[in-house]
Structure 1
Amino acid sequence: LCGLSLNGLTIFSFCKTPELWTPSHLLVLSLALADSGISLNALIAATSSLLRRWPYGSDGCQAHGFQGFLMALASICGSAAIAWGRYHHYCTRSQLAWSTAASLVLLVWLSSAFWAALPLLGWGHYDYEPLGTCCTLDYSRGDRNFTSFLFTMAFFNFLVPLFITRTSYQLMEQKLRKSGCLQVPALIAKMVPTINAINYALGSEMVCRGNLAVPFTAEERAGPSQV
């Protein structure tokens, strides 16, 4: 419920505040939608746990596993896309174009849907968890089919996003330290979407225009060419 509320606040803030209608915040909106989906998936699992059984049948199990895995992958890859967007903004000093942001969001969701659908098509498998109250990948399988799926999926959806995220923030930190413009509160506000949402939900001119929201208004002030 907390996850749904906080991510709902992020989505509400995006819809309410025209200042957030920028390409970089489209990536944040995508991440908030994915995290909301994870929270919804967990809420269904919590309901089943209270019932001490899975009440939705085999087809419901497959749908629950697919939805949860889709949202989890979209969240991971979406975080990597945001990290690259931050790197692009701070290190190239150019705005992210709408076409680029939309392409990144589309790539994140199509890639996540592709990998989440593979267990439904026979590569990998969704099944009940040991307690039988929710469904996810059947990690108990040790056959070649599932092992090959698991390692391939982990490489493209965990290691690659981790590399992109770490490299982007590392290069951004080096760039800002070298220029002497490293602002820790601003970076925290930019890296954690919930903080951005709270800033704007408060509706305070001091908060919205203060140092904590510098990453929000940087695009408005910079005005360089889009890439």
Structure 2
Amino acid sequence: MIVPNISHSCSGVNSVWCSSSSNQRHGQEQNLGPTGHLITAICLGIIGSLGFLNNLLVLILFCRNKVLRSPINLLLMNISMSDMMVCIMGTPFSFAASTQGRWLIGPGGCIWYGFVNTLFGTVSLISLAVLSYERYCTMMGTTEADATNYRKIWMGIFLSWMYSLFWTLPPLFGWSSYGPEGPGTTCSVNWHSRDANNISYIICLFIFCLVIPFFVIVYSYGKLLCAIKQVSGVTKGMGRTREQRVLIMVVVMVICFLLCWLPYGIMALIATFGKPGLITPSASIIPSILAKSSTVYNPVIYIFLNKQVSKVISLRFVLMQYVS
């Protein structure tokens, strides 16, 4: 049941924290209304369920099929793991909060939610950038053969987590903070404070955890596409088919990356630098939902469009039909 009165948002919650969250919105009305909270809950429920199932299927496929455990596919497993953690440790709490129209697990829970979701989201973004660069290096022959490159990939995975922790831990120690966002049913980095301490963190987070990964992805796949075009000039038939397949995948990946993360980044910048109260609850919740939807898109784009994975799935399907 959707609670119609959002005035209960702070019941049982530290009054100082509630006062702070109200100040962050500069008096902005937080209530989405029962219909708005219901729509949000439905979207989060669908995203959480599909994201969990998609990523669980990916992890099962990789665990049960030794042929899929190539170095580059370890990066895909890392992305699926971080996305599934969002579905387990994040989405259920915002879903429950949306069904009740208020945050349910207090200020400590809000800080924890903001931290883990920012961490796992950043890990996923950085891993996508590492994946694109590794694919580029492998194709261009500037790295070791894929089958003998496990140590380098494990190092890339480790560094993606360390890099993400480096940028998501500071709000726990005073450089910015984690708190309520939007209609008060989700939590994230404090986008609303105008002091230099907070603004400096927002700028760094935007540049180092969104802009740079995006340019790494565009650069790597752009160079990869150019290399494939050169090969296509020599081997017309097969090369042209491969070029078209890679082009489609690159375009889809870039569009989905922008669709999922650019609105959230723009919303955060407007909330930080724009006119107070300019971002309404409904306007702020949409980018948040789009960002969470990456947990659904990533497995489809990076895994199920993977030719090697498709072959394994097709083979298993044929074997199941044969046995039955």
TM-score by length of 1: 0.83
Match of 1:159 in 2: 211
Deviation digits for residues 43-89 of structure 1 (CA, Å, limit 9, x no counterpart): 32111111222221111111100000001101110100110111112
Q: Structure 2: how far apart are the matches of 1:25 and 1:107?
A: 17
Query: Residue type of the partner of 2:51?
Result: G
In structure 2, the partner of 1:107 is 159
Match of 1:61 among 110, 116, 141: 110
Q: Which residue of 2 aligns with 1:216?
A: none
8 Å Cα contact 1:6-1:194 kept in structure 2: no
Change in CA separation of 1:176 and 1:85 when aligned onto 2, cut-off 3 Å: same
The aligned runs of 1:23-172 (5 Å cut-off) are 23-40=71-88, 41-92=90-141, 94-96=144-146, 97-172=149-224
* C-alpha displacement of 1:198: 6.3
1:185 aligns with 2:185: no
Displacement of 1:140 in angstroms is 1.1
For 2:110, the aligned partner's letter is: C
User: CA–CA distance in 2 between the matches of 1:126 and 1:89?
Assistant: 39
CA contact (8 A) 2:225 2:246 kept: no
1:168 alignment partner AA: S
- The verdict on how the C-alpha distance between 1:188 and 1:22 changes in structure 2, with shifts beyond 3 A counting, is farther
Q: SS of 1:139's equivalent?
A: coil
Q: 113-122 vs 39-48, which deviates more?
A: 39-48
Contact 2:178 2:187 in 1 (8 A): yes
Q: 8 Å contact 1:17–1:200 — kept in the other structure? A: no
1:186 positional shift: 5.9
Equivalent pairs: percent with the same residue?
24
| Equivalent residues of 1:128, 1:134 under 8 A apart | yes
1:8 paired to 2:60: no
1:224 matched residue in structure 2: none
| Number of residue-to-residue matches in the alignment | 207
Cα distance in 2 for partners of 1:136, 1:67 equals 9
Structure 2: distance between partners of 1:169 and 1:101: 18
Corresponding residue SS for 2:169: helix
- How far is the alpha carbon of 1:206 from its aligned partner? 9.9
Kindly name which structure, 1 or 2, has the bigger radius of gyration based on alpha carbons. Answer: 2
CA contact (8 A) 1:34 1:74 kept: yes
Higher relative contact order (CA 8 A, sep 6+): 1
- Cα distance in 2 for partners of 1:113, 1:91 equals 31
State whether residues 13 and 200 of structure 1, in contact with CA within 8 Å, keep that contact through their aligned partners in structure 2.
Answer: no
What is the one-letter code of the residue matched to 1:90? M
Q: SS of the counterpart of 1:127?
A: strand
Q: Does 1:22 align with 2:70?
A: yes
Question: Structure 1 residue 199 and structure 2 residue 310: aligned?
Answer: yes
Could you list the per-position Cα deviations for residues 173-213 of structure 1 after superposition, in whole angstroms to 9, with x for gaps in the alignment? 00000011351336767962231396256342799xxxxxx
Preserved CA contact (<8 Å) 2:114 2:187: yes
The answer to which of 86-95 and 131-140 deviates more is 86-95
Q: Report the secondary structure of 2:129's partner residue.
A: helix
For 1:95 and 1:45, the matched residues in 2 are separated by 43
> Normalising by structure 2, what TM-score?
0.59
Moved over 6 A (4+): none
